[in-house]
Chain A
Amino acid sequence: MSATKPTAWRARRPELYPPRGPALWRRAALVPLGLGLFLWGLHALEVSPGQIYRGLGELGRVFMLMMPPAITEHVWQYLRAIGETLAMAFLGTLIASLLAVPLALMGARNVMPLGPVRLLVRRSSDVVRGIDSLVWAIFFVSVVGLGPFAGILAIAVNDTGVLTKLFAEAMENTDREQVKGVRATGAGRLQTIAFGIMPQALPVLLANSLYFLESNLRSATVLGVVGAGGIGFYLMDRMMISAWREVSLIVILVLVTVIGLDTLSRALRQRLIGSARG
Protein backbone atom coordinates (compact mmCIF):
# COMPACT_ATOMS: atom_id res chain seq x y z
CA MET A 1 0.00 0.00 0.00
CA SER A 2 2.89 2.36 -0.64
CA ALA A 3 1.86 4.71 -3.41
CA THR A 4 5.09 6.65 -3.50
CA LYS A 5 7.82 4.02 -3.69
CA PRO A 6 8.64 3.51 -7.38
CA THR A 7 9.12 -0.10 -8.34
CA ALA A 8 10.67 -1.72 -11.38
CA TRP A 9 7.41 -1.97 -13.30
CA ARG A 10 8.96 -0.82 -16.55
CA ALA A 11 11.14 -3.92 -16.76
CA ARG A 12 8.29 -6.25 -15.87
CA ARG A 13 5.42 -4.67 -17.83
CA PRO A 14 6.97 -2.72 -20.73
CA GLU A 15 3.65 -2.65 -22.60
CA LEU A 16 2.30 -0.21 -20.01
CA TYR A 17 4.95 2.35 -20.91
CA PRO A 18 5.67 4.36 -24.03
CA PRO A 19 8.19 2.60 -26.27
CA ARG A 20 11.92 3.38 -26.18
CA GLY A 21 14.64 3.23 -28.81
CA PRO A 22 13.72 2.69 -32.48
CA ALA A 23 10.05 2.15 -31.71
CA LEU A 24 9.93 5.54 -30.02
CA TRP A 25 11.63 7.17 -33.01
CA ARG A 26 9.19 5.54 -35.37
CA ARG A 27 6.31 6.93 -33.37
CA ALA A 28 7.90 10.37 -32.96
CA ALA A 29 8.54 10.53 -36.70
CA LEU A 30 4.77 10.61 -37.28
CA VAL A 31 4.62 14.16 -35.93
CA PRO A 32 6.90 15.84 -38.54
CA LEU A 33 5.43 13.53 -41.17
CA GLY A 34 1.90 14.67 -40.42
CA LEU A 35 3.01 18.27 -40.18
CA GLY A 36 4.81 17.96 -43.50
CA LEU A 37 1.74 16.51 -45.17
CA PHE A 38 -0.38 19.32 -43.77
CA LEU A 39 2.03 22.01 -44.98
CA TRP A 40 2.35 20.36 -48.38
CA GLY A 41 -1.43 20.54 -48.73
CA LEU A 42 -1.39 24.22 -47.81
CA HIS A 43 1.30 24.74 -50.42
CA ALA A 44 -0.89 22.97 -52.99
CA LEU A 45 -3.66 25.40 -52.04
CA GLU A 46 -1.27 28.30 -52.73
CA VAL A 47 -1.60 29.52 -49.14
CA SER A 48 1.18 31.73 -47.82
CA PRO A 49 1.55 33.39 -44.41
CA GLY A 50 1.89 36.79 -46.06
CA GLN A 51 -1.43 36.31 -47.82
CA ILE A 52 -3.14 35.41 -44.58
CA TYR A 53 -1.61 38.39 -42.80
CA ARG A 54 -2.56 40.88 -45.49
CA GLY A 55 -5.99 39.31 -45.89
CA LEU A 56 -6.80 39.58 -42.21
CA GLY A 57 -5.86 43.25 -42.26
CA GLU A 58 -8.06 43.80 -45.29
CA LEU A 59 -10.91 41.87 -43.67
CA GLY A 60 -10.69 44.09 -40.60
CA ARG A 61 -10.79 47.15 -42.81
CA VAL A 62 -13.89 45.91 -44.66
CA PHE A 63 -15.55 45.08 -41.38
CA MET A 64 -14.97 48.63 -40.15
CA LEU A 65 -16.41 49.95 -43.43
CA MET A 66 -19.56 47.89 -42.83
CA MET A 67 -20.36 49.69 -39.63
CA PRO A 68 -22.93 50.96 -39.07
CA PRO A 69 -25.38 49.33 -41.48
CA ALA A 70 -26.95 51.90 -43.78
CA ILE A 71 -30.72 52.13 -43.85
CA THR A 72 -31.39 53.70 -47.24
CA GLU A 73 -34.41 54.03 -49.49
CA HIS A 74 -33.34 50.70 -51.02
CA VAL A 75 -34.59 48.88 -47.94
CA TRP A 76 -38.00 48.22 -49.54
CA GLN A 77 -36.32 46.72 -52.56
CA TYR A 78 -34.34 44.45 -50.25
CA LEU A 79 -37.41 43.39 -48.30
CA ARG A 80 -39.19 42.49 -51.52
CA ALA A 81 -36.13 40.52 -52.62
CA ILE A 82 -36.17 38.67 -49.32
CA GLY A 83 -39.83 37.89 -49.87
CA GLU A 84 -38.85 36.56 -53.28
CA THR A 85 -36.14 34.45 -51.66
CA LEU A 86 -38.64 33.02 -49.18
CA ALA A 87 -41.04 32.27 -52.04
CA MET A 88 -38.30 30.47 -53.95
CA ALA A 89 -37.37 28.30 -50.97
CA PHE A 90 -41.03 27.58 -50.13
CA LEU A 91 -42.24 26.67 -53.62
CA GLY A 92 -39.03 24.83 -54.46
CA THR A 93 -39.33 22.66 -51.36
CA LEU A 94 -43.06 22.13 -51.89
CA ILE A 95 -42.65 20.98 -55.50
CA ALA A 96 -39.70 18.79 -54.58
CA SER A 97 -41.65 17.17 -51.73
CA LEU A 98 -44.60 16.43 -53.99
CA LEU A 99 -42.37 14.96 -56.69
CA ALA A 100 -40.26 13.02 -54.22
CA VAL A 101 -43.13 11.01 -52.71
CA PRO A 102 -43.93 8.93 -55.82
CA LEU A 103 -40.24 8.68 -56.70
CA ALA A 104 -39.40 7.51 -53.19
CA LEU A 105 -42.16 4.90 -53.37
CA MET A 106 -40.46 3.60 -56.49
CA GLY A 107 -37.10 3.58 -54.71
CA ALA A 108 -38.06 2.02 -51.37
CA ARG A 109 -37.21 -1.65 -50.92
CA ASN A 110 -40.38 -2.49 -48.99
CA VAL A 111 -42.63 -0.87 -51.62
CA MET A 112 -41.06 -1.49 -55.01
CA PRO A 113 -40.34 -5.14 -55.69
CA LEU A 114 -38.52 -4.54 -58.99
CA GLY A 115 -34.80 -4.17 -58.30
CA PRO A 116 -33.85 -2.44 -61.57
CA VAL A 117 -36.50 0.26 -61.08
CA ARG A 118 -35.25 0.91 -57.55
CA LEU A 119 -31.68 1.11 -58.79
CA LEU A 120 -32.60 3.50 -61.58
CA VAL A 121 -34.50 5.82 -59.20
CA ARG A 122 -31.77 5.76 -56.56
CA ARG A 123 -28.87 6.31 -58.95
CA SER A 124 -30.55 9.11 -60.87
CA SER A 125 -31.40 10.83 -57.60
CA ASP A 126 -27.69 10.54 -56.72
CA VAL A 127 -26.76 12.26 -59.97
CA VAL A 128 -29.31 15.04 -59.53
CA ARG A 129 -28.15 15.54 -55.95
CA GLY A 130 -24.50 15.62 -56.98
CA ILE A 131 -25.07 18.82 -58.97
CA ASP A 132 -25.40 21.87 -56.77
CA SER A 133 -28.55 24.00 -56.96
CA LEU A 134 -26.39 26.87 -58.17
CA VAL A 135 -25.46 24.88 -61.29
CA TRP A 136 -29.09 23.97 -61.81
CA ALA A 137 -29.92 27.67 -61.45
CA ILE A 138 -27.54 28.61 -64.26
CA PHE A 139 -29.17 25.98 -66.41
CA PHE A 140 -32.70 27.14 -65.67
CA VAL A 141 -31.81 30.79 -66.20
CA SER A 142 -30.86 29.81 -69.73
CA VAL A 143 -34.18 27.99 -70.12
CA VAL A 144 -36.77 30.34 -68.58
CA GLY A 145 -34.73 33.53 -68.36
CA LEU A 146 -33.54 35.65 -65.42
CA GLY A 147 -35.69 35.83 -62.31
CA PRO A 148 -36.92 33.88 -59.31
CA PHE A 149 -38.79 31.29 -61.40
CA ALA A 150 -35.43 29.84 -62.48
CA GLY A 151 -34.44 29.69 -58.81
CA ILE A 152 -37.63 27.85 -57.87
CA LEU A 153 -37.02 25.26 -60.57
CA ALA A 154 -33.37 24.87 -59.54
CA ILE A 155 -34.25 24.26 -55.91
CA ALA A 156 -37.11 21.95 -56.87
CA VAL A 157 -34.92 19.76 -59.07
CA ASN A 158 -31.95 19.57 -56.71
CA ASP A 159 -34.19 18.87 -53.74
CA THR A 160 -36.19 16.22 -55.53
CA GLY A 161 -32.93 14.29 -55.67
CA VAL A 162 -32.18 14.81 -51.99
CA LEU A 163 -35.70 14.20 -50.73
CA THR A 164 -36.24 11.09 -52.86
CA LYS A 165 -33.31 9.46 -51.11
CA LEU A 166 -34.39 10.60 -47.63
CA PHE A 167 -38.08 9.72 -48.16
CA ALA A 168 -37.20 6.27 -49.47
CA GLU A 169 -35.05 5.66 -46.40
CA ALA A 170 -37.85 6.85 -44.12
CA MET A 171 -40.27 4.42 -45.79
CA GLU A 172 -37.79 1.58 -45.44
CA ASN A 173 -37.39 2.38 -41.76
CA THR A 174 -41.09 1.89 -40.97
CA ASP A 175 -42.05 -0.75 -38.47
CA ARG A 176 -42.61 -4.05 -40.27
CA GLU A 177 -45.02 -5.45 -37.67
CA GLN A 178 -47.51 -2.65 -38.23
CA VAL A 179 -47.33 -3.19 -41.98
CA LYS A 180 -47.89 -6.91 -41.48
CA GLY A 181 -50.88 -6.11 -39.29
CA VAL A 182 -52.45 -4.08 -42.09
CA ARG A 183 -51.73 -6.82 -44.62
CA ALA A 184 -53.29 -9.40 -42.30
CA THR A 185 -56.63 -7.60 -42.56
CA GLY A 186 -56.64 -8.56 -46.24
CA ALA A 187 -55.48 -5.23 -47.57
CA GLY A 188 -54.13 -5.16 -51.11
CA ARG A 189 -50.74 -3.80 -52.13
CA LEU A 190 -51.82 -0.17 -52.53
CA GLN A 191 -53.90 -0.30 -49.37
CA THR A 192 -50.93 -1.68 -47.44
CA ILE A 193 -48.83 1.24 -48.61
CA ALA A 194 -51.57 3.76 -47.89
CA PHE A 195 -52.51 2.47 -44.42
CA GLY A 196 -49.40 0.57 -43.31
CA ILE A 197 -46.40 2.54 -44.51
CA MET A 198 -47.50 6.11 -45.20
CA PRO A 199 -49.05 6.89 -41.78
CA GLN A 200 -45.76 5.92 -40.13
CA ALA A 201 -43.53 7.67 -42.64
CA LEU A 202 -45.55 10.86 -43.09
CA PRO A 203 -44.35 12.76 -40.00
CA VAL A 204 -40.75 11.94 -40.90
CA LEU A 205 -41.33 13.10 -44.47
CA LEU A 206 -42.86 16.37 -43.28
CA ALA A 207 -40.07 16.94 -40.78
CA ASN A 208 -37.50 16.36 -43.51
CA SER A 209 -39.29 18.77 -45.83
CA LEU A 210 -39.34 21.44 -43.15
CA TYR A 211 -35.67 20.85 -42.44
CA PHE A 212 -34.89 21.29 -46.12
CA LEU A 213 -37.03 24.40 -46.24
CA GLU A 214 -34.54 25.91 -43.78
CA SER A 215 -31.59 24.66 -45.76
CA ASN A 216 -33.11 25.87 -49.05
CA LEU A 217 -33.60 29.36 -47.71
CA ARG A 218 -29.84 29.51 -47.27
CA SER A 219 -29.34 28.21 -50.83
CA ALA A 220 -31.94 30.62 -52.19
CA THR A 221 -30.09 33.61 -50.74
CA VAL A 222 -27.17 32.96 -53.08
CA LEU A 223 -28.98 31.91 -56.28
CA GLY A 224 -29.23 35.59 -57.22
CA VAL A 225 -25.51 35.49 -57.92
CA VAL A 226 -26.26 33.76 -61.23
CA GLY A 227 -29.41 35.76 -61.92
CA ALA A 228 -31.96 33.36 -60.47
CA GLY A 229 -33.75 35.94 -58.33
CA GLY A 230 -33.85 36.75 -54.65
CA ILE A 231 -31.69 38.81 -52.33
CA GLY A 232 -28.45 37.29 -53.63
CA PHE A 233 -28.43 39.62 -56.61
CA TYR A 234 -28.41 42.74 -54.42
CA LEU A 235 -25.89 41.23 -52.04
CA MET A 236 -23.46 40.52 -54.84
CA ASP A 237 -24.14 43.81 -56.58
CA ARG A 238 -23.52 45.90 -53.45
CA MET A 239 -20.32 43.98 -52.79
CA MET A 240 -19.07 44.62 -56.32
CA ILE A 241 -19.55 48.37 -55.95
CA SER A 242 -18.11 48.24 -52.39
CA ALA A 243 -21.28 49.60 -50.79
CA TRP A 244 -20.26 47.86 -47.56
CA ARG A 245 -22.75 49.54 -45.25
CA GLU A 246 -25.59 48.28 -47.43
CA VAL A 247 -23.98 44.84 -47.57
CA SER A 248 -24.09 44.63 -43.79
CA LEU A 249 -27.74 45.72 -43.82
CA ILE A 250 -28.58 42.93 -46.27
CA VAL A 251 -26.61 40.38 -44.25
CA ILE A 252 -28.52 41.40 -41.12
CA LEU A 253 -31.85 41.12 -42.97
CA VAL A 254 -30.87 37.66 -44.20
CA LEU A 255 -29.77 36.59 -40.69
CA VAL A 256 -33.06 37.72 -39.17
CA THR A 257 -35.09 35.95 -41.87
CA VAL A 258 -33.15 32.70 -41.65
CA ILE A 259 -33.20 32.60 -37.85
CA GLY A 260 -36.91 33.46 -37.85
CA LEU A 261 -37.77 30.66 -40.28
CA ASP A 262 -35.51 28.23 -38.41
CA THR A 263 -37.33 28.95 -35.17
CA LEU A 264 -40.75 28.53 -36.79
CA SER A 265 -39.77 25.35 -38.57
CA ARG A 266 -38.12 23.86 -35.47
CA ALA A 267 -41.33 24.42 -33.51
CA LEU A 268 -43.38 22.77 -36.27
CA ARG A 269 -40.92 19.88 -36.54
CA GLN A 270 -41.04 19.24 -32.83
CA ARG A 271 -44.83 19.13 -32.94
CA LEU A 272 -44.68 16.69 -35.85
CA ILE A 273 -42.16 14.38 -34.21
CA GLY A 274 -44.06 14.70 -30.93
CA SER A 275 -47.34 13.70 -32.56
CA ALA A 276 -45.59 10.79 -34.28
CA ARG A 277 -44.23 9.48 -31.01
CA GLY A 278 -47.25 10.27 -28.86
Chain B
Amino acid sequence: MLELRGLTRRFGDATAVDNLSLAVADGEMVAVLGRSGAGKSTLLNMINRLIDPSGGEILYGGRDIARLRGAELLAWRRQSAMIFQRFNLVGRLSVLTNVLTGRLNHPPRLPKLVGLFTDRERDIAIDALAALGMEDHALKRADQLSGGQQQRVAIARALVQEPRIMLADEPVASLDPVNAQAVMEALRRINRELGITVLCNLHSVPLAQAWCDRAIALSAGRLVYDGPVAGLDEPTLLGIYGSAAALSEAH
Protein backbone atom coordinates (compact mmCIF):
# COMPACT_ATOMS: atom_id res chain seq x y z
CA MET B 1 0.00 0.00 0.00
CA LEU B 2 1.18 3.52 -0.86
CA GLU B 3 0.23 6.05 1.78
CA LEU B 4 0.79 9.80 1.73
CA ARG B 5 0.62 11.69 5.04
CA GLY B 6 0.56 15.47 5.04
CA LEU B 7 2.69 15.59 1.89
CA THR B 8 3.68 19.17 1.03
CA ARG B 9 5.89 20.83 -1.54
CA ARG B 10 6.61 24.53 -1.67
CA PHE B 11 8.44 26.42 -4.43
CA GLY B 12 9.43 29.70 -2.84
CA ASP B 13 6.18 31.30 -1.68
CA ALA B 14 3.97 29.06 -3.83
CA THR B 15 2.66 25.79 -2.45
CA ALA B 16 2.35 23.22 -5.21
CA VAL B 17 1.12 20.34 -3.05
CA ASP B 18 -0.54 21.26 0.22
CA ASN B 19 -0.79 18.83 3.15
CA LEU B 20 -1.99 15.91 1.05
CA SER B 21 -3.03 12.66 2.73
CA LEU B 22 -4.38 9.58 0.95
CA ALA B 23 -3.85 5.83 0.57
CA VAL B 24 -3.63 3.75 -2.59
CA ALA B 25 -3.98 -0.04 -2.30
CA ASP B 26 -1.73 -2.34 -4.32
CA GLY B 27 -3.11 -3.05 -7.79
CA GLU B 28 -5.35 0.01 -8.00
CA MET B 29 -5.53 2.18 -11.12
CA VAL B 30 -6.01 5.77 -10.04
CA ALA B 31 -6.57 8.83 -12.18
CA VAL B 32 -5.21 12.11 -10.84
CA LEU B 33 -7.32 15.04 -12.08
CA GLY B 34 -7.18 18.79 -11.78
CA ARG B 35 -6.46 21.95 -13.73
CA SER B 36 -2.93 22.52 -14.96
CA GLY B 37 -0.91 23.94 -12.10
CA ALA B 38 -3.02 22.10 -9.53
CA GLY B 39 0.06 20.12 -8.37
CA LYS B 40 -0.56 16.80 -10.17
CA SER B 41 2.86 16.67 -11.79
CA THR B 42 4.64 17.72 -8.60
CA LEU B 43 2.80 14.97 -6.74
CA LEU B 44 3.94 12.19 -9.09
CA ASN B 45 7.49 13.52 -9.28
CA MET B 46 7.57 13.55 -5.47
CA ILE B 47 6.47 9.93 -5.22
CA ASN B 48 9.32 8.94 -7.57
CA ARG B 49 11.51 11.44 -5.65
CA LEU B 50 12.62 13.36 -8.73
CA ILE B 51 11.34 16.26 -6.61
CA ASP B 52 12.01 16.27 -2.88
CA PRO B 53 9.02 16.93 -0.59
CA SER B 54 9.15 19.98 1.69
CA GLY B 55 7.25 18.08 4.36
CA GLY B 56 5.15 15.02 5.11
CA GLU B 57 5.64 11.30 4.59
CA ILE B 58 5.41 8.88 1.69
CA LEU B 59 4.95 5.40 3.16
CA TYR B 60 5.44 2.25 1.16
CA GLY B 61 6.15 -1.23 2.56
CA GLY B 62 6.65 0.20 6.02
CA ARG B 63 9.34 2.68 4.92
CA ASP B 64 9.22 6.45 4.58
CA ILE B 65 10.14 7.00 0.93
CA ALA B 66 10.56 10.72 1.56
CA ARG B 67 13.67 10.04 3.65
CA LEU B 68 15.50 7.60 1.37
CA ARG B 69 18.99 8.54 0.25
CA GLY B 70 21.80 7.14 -1.89
CA ALA B 71 21.49 3.59 -3.19
CA GLU B 72 18.14 3.07 -1.41
CA LEU B 73 16.69 6.09 -3.20
CA LEU B 74 17.86 4.78 -6.59
CA ALA B 75 16.37 1.37 -5.76
CA TRP B 76 13.05 3.06 -4.98
CA ARG B 77 13.09 4.93 -8.27
CA ARG B 78 13.56 1.59 -10.02
CA GLN B 79 10.46 0.27 -8.24
CA SER B 80 8.33 3.31 -9.07
CA ALA B 81 8.58 3.73 -12.82
CA MET B 82 7.73 7.07 -14.47
CA ILE B 83 6.07 7.77 -17.82
CA PHE B 84 6.33 11.35 -19.08
CA GLN B 85 4.23 13.55 -21.32
CA ARG B 86 7.26 14.20 -23.56
CA PHE B 87 8.37 10.50 -23.44
CA ASN B 88 11.89 11.49 -22.25
CA LEU B 89 13.71 8.93 -24.34
CA VAL B 90 17.32 9.45 -25.41
CA GLY B 91 16.77 10.36 -29.04
CA ARG B 92 20.13 9.32 -30.43
CA LEU B 93 20.05 5.85 -28.88
CA SER B 94 18.26 2.87 -30.41
CA VAL B 95 14.84 1.80 -29.20
CA LEU B 96 16.32 -1.37 -27.72
CA THR B 97 19.02 0.52 -25.82
CA ASN B 98 16.43 2.95 -24.51
CA VAL B 99 14.42 0.03 -23.13
CA LEU B 100 17.58 -1.55 -21.71
CA THR B 101 18.28 1.64 -19.73
CA GLY B 102 15.36 0.52 -17.58
CA ARG B 103 17.72 -2.21 -16.35
CA LEU B 104 20.56 0.13 -15.33
CA ASN B 105 19.77 -0.27 -11.66
CA HIS B 106 19.68 -4.09 -11.83
CA PRO B 107 22.85 -6.13 -11.22
CA PRO B 108 25.32 -6.72 -12.80
CA ARG B 109 25.97 -2.98 -12.98
CA LEU B 110 29.62 -2.71 -14.02
CA PRO B 111 29.37 -4.17 -17.58
CA LYS B 112 26.54 -1.71 -18.28
CA LEU B 113 28.99 1.18 -17.99
CA VAL B 114 30.54 -0.01 -21.25
CA GLY B 115 27.22 -0.88 -22.87
CA LEU B 116 27.14 -4.62 -22.13
CA PHE B 117 23.78 -6.09 -21.12
CA THR B 118 23.22 -9.81 -20.51
CA ASP B 119 21.27 -11.92 -22.97
CA ARG B 120 18.57 -12.41 -20.35
CA GLU B 121 18.16 -8.65 -20.03
CA ARG B 122 17.82 -8.39 -23.79
CA ASP B 123 15.18 -11.15 -23.61
CA ILE B 124 13.26 -9.11 -21.05
CA ALA B 125 13.59 -5.91 -23.06
CA ILE B 126 12.43 -7.50 -26.33
CA ASP B 127 9.58 -9.20 -24.47
CA ALA B 128 8.47 -5.81 -23.22
CA LEU B 129 8.73 -4.27 -26.70
CA ALA B 130 6.77 -7.20 -28.14
CA ALA B 131 4.05 -6.75 -25.53
CA LEU B 132 3.59 -3.22 -26.90
CA GLY B 133 3.94 -4.27 -30.54
CA MET B 134 7.24 -2.41 -30.98
CA GLU B 135 9.75 -5.25 -31.43
CA ASP B 136 10.16 -4.60 -35.16
CA HIS B 137 11.45 -1.08 -34.43
CA ALA B 138 14.10 -2.28 -31.93
CA LEU B 139 17.13 -1.06 -33.90
CA LYS B 140 15.71 2.29 -35.03
CA ARG B 141 16.80 5.49 -33.39
CA ALA B 142 14.23 6.60 -30.83
CA ASP B 143 13.83 10.07 -32.35
CA GLN B 144 12.80 8.55 -35.68
CA LEU B 145 9.56 7.21 -34.18
CA SER B 146 6.18 8.92 -33.95
CA GLY B 147 4.95 10.23 -30.61
CA GLY B 148 2.67 7.26 -29.99
CA GLN B 149 5.48 4.84 -30.77
CA GLN B 150 7.89 6.71 -28.52
CA GLN B 151 5.44 6.56 -25.64
CA ARG B 152 5.10 2.80 -26.10
CA VAL B 153 8.89 2.49 -25.98
CA ALA B 154 8.86 4.55 -22.80
CA ILE B 155 6.29 2.18 -21.30
CA ALA B 156 8.48 -0.77 -22.30
CA ARG B 157 11.39 0.92 -20.54
CA ALA B 158 9.23 1.32 -17.44
CA LEU B 159 8.15 -2.35 -17.64
CA VAL B 160 11.68 -3.77 -17.68
CA GLN B 161 12.38 -1.94 -14.43
CA GLU B 162 10.02 -4.57 -12.93
CA PRO B 163 8.32 -1.84 -10.91
CA ARG B 164 5.71 -2.06 -8.15
CA ILE B 165 4.12 1.24 -9.05
CA MET B 166 3.85 3.06 -12.35
CA LEU B 167 3.53 6.86 -12.30
CA ALA B 168 2.27 8.27 -15.59
CA ASP B 169 2.51 12.08 -15.87
CA GLU B 170 0.09 13.16 -18.62
CA PRO B 171 1.06 10.16 -20.76
CA VAL B 172 -1.33 10.96 -23.59
CA ALA B 173 -1.37 14.76 -23.58
CA SER B 174 0.92 14.96 -26.63
CA LEU B 175 -0.79 12.17 -28.58
CA ASP B 176 -3.63 11.96 -31.07
CA PRO B 177 -6.85 10.20 -29.92
CA VAL B 178 -6.02 6.82 -31.51
CA ASN B 179 -2.58 6.64 -29.93
CA ALA B 180 -3.99 7.98 -26.67
CA GLN B 181 -6.41 5.06 -26.50
CA ALA B 182 -3.63 2.56 -27.31
CA VAL B 183 -1.39 3.94 -24.57
CA MET B 184 -4.21 3.97 -21.99
CA GLU B 185 -5.05 0.42 -22.93
CA ALA B 186 -1.44 -0.65 -22.43
CA LEU B 187 -1.42 0.94 -18.97
CA ARG B 188 -4.66 -0.81 -18.07
CA ARG B 189 -3.27 -4.18 -19.18
CA ILE B 190 -0.13 -3.62 -17.13
CA ASN B 191 -2.38 -2.87 -14.19
CA ARG B 192 -4.67 -5.88 -14.66
CA GLU B 193 -2.22 -8.56 -15.81
CA LEU B 194 0.84 -7.69 -13.75
CA GLY B 195 -0.96 -6.23 -10.76
CA ILE B 196 1.14 -3.05 -10.89
CA THR B 197 -0.36 -0.02 -9.14
CA VAL B 198 -0.89 2.78 -11.67
CA LEU B 199 -1.19 6.48 -10.85
CA CYS B 200 -2.03 8.46 -13.94
CA ASN B 201 -2.25 12.25 -14.31
CA LEU B 202 -4.90 13.02 -16.87
CA HIS B 203 -6.19 16.26 -18.32
CA SER B 204 -9.25 14.52 -19.76
CA VAL B 205 -12.13 13.37 -17.59
CA PRO B 206 -13.60 10.95 -20.18
CA LEU B 207 -10.24 9.13 -20.40
CA ALA B 208 -10.21 8.78 -16.63
CA GLN B 209 -13.75 7.46 -16.62
CA ALA B 210 -12.99 5.00 -19.44
CA TRP B 211 -9.80 3.48 -18.06
CA CYS B 212 -9.52 4.03 -14.30
CA ASP B 213 -11.34 2.72 -11.24
CA ARG B 214 -10.75 5.54 -8.87
CA ALA B 215 -10.11 9.23 -9.25
CA ILE B 216 -8.51 11.76 -7.00
CA ALA B 217 -8.62 15.44 -7.81
CA LEU B 218 -6.37 18.30 -6.77
CA SER B 219 -7.11 21.99 -6.71
CA ALA B 220 -4.34 24.41 -5.70
CA GLY B 221 -2.43 21.48 -4.24
CA ARG B 222 -5.28 20.28 -2.01
CA LEU B 223 -7.27 17.08 -2.29
CA VAL B 224 -10.80 18.00 -3.41
CA TYR B 225 -12.14 14.63 -4.54
CA ASP B 226 -11.32 10.99 -3.79
CA GLY B 227 -13.71 8.27 -4.93
CA PRO B 228 -14.84 6.06 -7.78
CA VAL B 229 -14.75 7.59 -11.26
CA ALA B 230 -18.50 6.98 -11.44
CA GLY B 231 -18.94 9.60 -8.74
CA LEU B 232 -17.56 12.34 -10.99
CA ASP B 233 -20.88 14.02 -11.78
CA GLU B 234 -21.28 17.51 -13.21
CA PRO B 235 -21.45 19.46 -9.90
CA THR B 236 -18.43 17.59 -8.52
CA LEU B 237 -16.43 18.31 -11.66
CA LEU B 238 -17.44 21.96 -11.57
CA GLY B 239 -16.07 22.02 -8.03
CA ILE B 240 -12.77 20.51 -9.21
CA TYR B 241 -12.27 22.68 -12.25
CA GLY B 242 -13.73 25.89 -10.84
CA SER B 243 -15.49 27.05 -13.97
CA ALA B 244 -17.47 25.62 -16.84
CA ALA B 245 -14.86 26.89 -19.30
CA ALA B 246 -12.03 25.03 -17.60
CA LEU B 247 -14.20 21.96 -17.38
CA SER B 248 -15.07 21.98 -21.05
CA GLU B 249 -11.33 21.90 -21.81
CA ALA B 250 -11.11 18.69 -19.81
CA HIS B 251 -13.78 17.00 -21.90
Contacts and interface: CB of A to CB of B under 8 A. Distances in A.
Interface stretch (B17-25, B126-134, B222-230): B126-134
Contacts of B160: 3
Nearest to B123: A6
Contacts of B194: 1-3
A1 B190 contact: yes
Nearest to B138: A16
Contacts of A7: 123, 126-127
A9 B126 contact: yes
Interface in B104-133: 116, 119-120, 122-124, 126-128, 131
A10 interface: yes
Interface residues of B, number: 21
A9 B127 contact: yes
B127 A16 contact: no
Interface in A1-40: 1-7, 9-10, 13, 15-18
Contacts of A3: 124, 127-128, 131, 159-160, 162, 194
B32 interface: no
A274 B134 CA distance: 47
Contacts of A1: 131, 189-190, 193-194
B184 to A, nearest CB: 15
B138 A13 contact: yes
A120 to B, nearest CB: 43
A9 B131 contact: no
B126 A13 contact: yes
Interface of A: 1-7, 9-10, 13, 15-18
Given A2-B194, A16-B122, 5 more contacts: A2-B127, A4-B124, A6-B120, A9-B127, A13-B135
